[in-house]
Structure 1
Amino acid sequence: MRVEVFPERCIGSGVCALVAADVFDQREDDGVVILLADHPPAAQQESVYEAATRCPASVIEIHDRD
């Protein structure tokens, strides 16, 4: 799994950081997503899928074959 984010579209809801804190964080000043792990371990992949699904701005893209 490879994860990609599009911070320019992020609205700073923080859902990703709440659901998958080891993979996503937020900038202090504006809450925009920060990707911590673009190739998360298998144990975190379910939470990454959940974060992508729940993101209200759809800024998380998951590539299964990278």
Structure 2
Amino acid sequence: MKVIGVTGMPGSGKSIVSRTAESLGMKVVRMGDVIRDEAHKQNKTPGKSQFNYVRSTGNMWLQNDA
């Protein structure tokens, strides 16, 4: 199985790429959906769950001034 990651700034076309991939029959996983689902399971807000996930996987993902 091949995995293709799509990243970019807001408005850069990530949604267009993912819709195109879906139309071609590819499975698309959106990280925002994963975070929201996990937050719901933990009865927390998505922002807090994302912050906790980042903290648990290492502070290298956080800006020093965050």
| Both structures adopt the same fold (TM-score exceeding 0.5) | no
Which structure's residues are more often helix, by fraction? 2
Q: Considering Cα pairs closer than 8 Å and 6+ residues apart, tell me whether 1 or 2 has the greater RCO.
A: 1
TM-score normalised to structure 1 length: 0.29
Which structure's residues are more often strand, by fraction? 1
TM-score normalised to structure 2 length: 0.29
Max Rg structure: 2
